[in-house]
Amino acid sequence: MTQKNKNTTTGVLSQVKSSSREIAIIQANWHIDIVSQASQSFSADMVRSGYNEADIRIYNVPGSLEIPLMAQKLAETRNYDLIMATGLIVDGGLYRHDFVAATVLEGMMRVQLDSGVPVLSVVLTPHNFQEVPVHMDFFKNHFVLKGREAASAALMTLDNMALFQDERRLAS
């Protein structure tokens, strides 16, 4: 049994099921125990929405700075309908975390604008993060929520992108 996406009127599932392309997840391995929570909840919600689990591919990169290049390489293959990236950029007391966050998001935006492949961000930069159990637990749960939110955004984005595919087919 398939569910219809509540956020759309045209229903993305027919578009998704007829697609032979995949969704890519790029996950930074810095704090992978936290970051992977977004990948897992995103994938689970996409599967619950009718997407095939085999069509969701996870790519690991060392840290968030490596996300934009991997997104660019994946977009260039034209094998992916959408790319979701997840990472955790922590404030280690230096200005560097702001630079990293801005650089990563600018790179991801450039990839999607240059390629036409949507790139969703679950790359988070918390103000206060320490490697203590209470923070670790909080951010694990937070990344679960953000993965679910990204799945909802992915379904809406795929539905929107399908409108342009339909217009191209009608024009030819």
Q: Active-site residue numbers? A: 96
Please give the radius of gyration of the chain, using alpha carbons only, rounded to the nearest integer: 16
Burial per residue of 142-168, b for 16 or more beta-carbon CB atoms within 10 angstroms, e otherwise? bbbebbebbbbbbbebbbebbeeeeee
DSSP 100-155: HHHHHHHHHHHHHHHH---EEEEEE--SS--SSHHHHHHHHHHHHHHHHHHHHHHH
3-class SS of residue 3? coil
Burial per residue of 5-34, b for 16 or more beta-carbon CB atoms within 10 angstroms, e otherwise? beebeebbbebbeebeebbbbbbbebbeeb
